[in-house]
Amino acid sequence: MSRIRDRTEDLKDAVRQTALSLGYNESKLAAVLASFIIHKPRQRSAFTKAALKTLESIEALEQFMLKHRKDYVDLHRTTEQERDSIEHEVSTFIKACQEQIDILKNSINNEEANSKGWLGVRADATNADTIAHKHGVVLILSERLHSVTSQFDQLRAIRFQDVINRAMPRRKLQRKANSNSVDTSKSSTSELKEPDEFQPDRLRVQQQLLDDETRALQVELTSLLDAVQETETKMVEMSALNHLMSTHVLQQAQQIEVLYDQAVEATKNVELGNKELNQAIQRSFSCLASQKKLTTVMAAAKESNINFTNNQHACEPCRSFGQKCSHIVKKQRARFYIVRRCIAMLVCWRDRGES
């Protein structure tokens, strides 16, 4: 069996000689070899950039909470206004992070809807894996934000418990003031008791006071809850009424615009009607004048016809046909002139009426 020879070095030399013949120098060749060994980092997508930005925001929120934890919990370090400002800033941080996560969810849903082919079937399996990976990223960010918000809820519970504890002694003083009469009535019997018997009675009284205080707090909290629910329902009703009012205002605005357009169109129609009426009046006056002129012309023509007939009877019968025609033309010249003027007036009146 023949011995196997390693030809890797020969391949490297051949590649090197080919690269040098193609115009590559030593520096370019070294850069190409380095690119094969050390790959360039891939460009991040918009989703990855947004997810990393959201993660940075959540980490910044966590660092802010760790920094101001003692200031928020300890009552002697800061005032109520400062604690309220810290709580407001944390709430703003949480709201901004939640909005970023919602934007990522919407982008995933849009991409998933666009990736579906005909009849809702996915066209590419790699795209489905990418979408599943993005859903996992959004789930991790949501869990991280939930853990940070749960820590802040614990701090808020500690603060509210401290406020309740500070309010408890005042209520105890009021309860003790009411129970002074009972204590004075039992003072004579309590003096006769031994020290071992007095201690359980005192504990029993304190326990009873605590129970009464708890019941009072429960009643107060239930009343506050009822007031808050009533206020919430009123606000919802007010928002609904505001929405209805806005819709009615928009409808009225549209109706007002329609009425305005109709009024403008009506004014234009009235102006056109006035112009038509003026033209009709002028035409009626011209018709009356032309009728009067026509009647006068017809009367003149009738009179001239009568005169012509009289003159024709008076002519001598001895004249020739040519003399008779020339005589008739001379006699009827005025009549021809009147007829021509009447025809010209009628034609002018017709053209003016058509215009």
**For residue 89, what are the contacts with CB-CB under 8 A and spacing of at least 6?**
64
Asked whether the beta carbons of 184 and 97 are under 8 A apart, the reply is no
Q: What percent of the chain has pLDDT over 70?
A: 76
- In the prediction, which pLDDT does 56 show? 92
Tell me the domains of the chain and their CATH numbers.
9-35 (no CATH), 44-172 (1.20.58)
- In the prediction, which pLDDT does 103 show? 92
- In the prediction, which pLDDT does 182 show? 45
Closest CA to 315 of 301, 330, 300: 330
Q: Which of 42-51, 71-80, 175-184, 263-272 has the lowest mean pLDDT?
A: 175-184
- In the prediction, which pLDDT does 308 show? 56
> Is it the case that residue 193 has pLDDT exceeding 50?
no
Residue with tokens 């129609």: 269
Helix (H) or strand (E) holding 292: helix 195-314
Asked whether the beta carbons of 77 and 104 are under 8 A apart, the reply is no
> Is it the case that residue 278 has pLDDT exceeding 70?
yes
CA dist 111 and 126 (Å) reads 13
Type of residue at 76: H
CA dist 348 and 44 (Å) reads 89
> Is it the case that residue 194 has pLDDT exceeding 50?
no
Q: Which of 42-46, 200-204, 303-307 has the lowest mean pLDDT?
A: 303-307
Give the pLDDT band (50/70/90) at residue 312: low
Q: What is the pLDDT of residues 216-246, one digit of tens each?
A: 888 888 888 888 888 888 887 887 788 778 7
Give the pLDDT band (50/70/90) at residue 310: low
Identify the burial level of 98 via C-beta atoms within 10 angstroms of its C-beta, where 0-12 means exposed, 13-18 middle and 19 or more buried.
middle
- In the prediction, which pLDDT does 321 show? 67
> Is it the case that residue 191 has pLDDT exceeding 70?
no
CA dist 89 and 85 (Å) reads 6
| Residue 198 token pair | 């007095």
Q: What is the pLDDT of residues 5-52, one digit of tens each?
A: 778 788 778 888 888 888 888 888 778 777 766 666 667 788 888 999
- In the prediction, which pLDDT does 354 show? 62
Identify the burial level of 300 via C-beta atoms within 10 angstroms of its C-beta, where 0-12 means exposed, 13-18 middle and 19 or more buried.
middle
Phi, psi of 194 (to 5 degrees): -80, 165
Helix (H, G, I), strand (E, B) or coil at 219: helix
> Is it the case that residue 292 has pLDDT exceeding 70?
yes
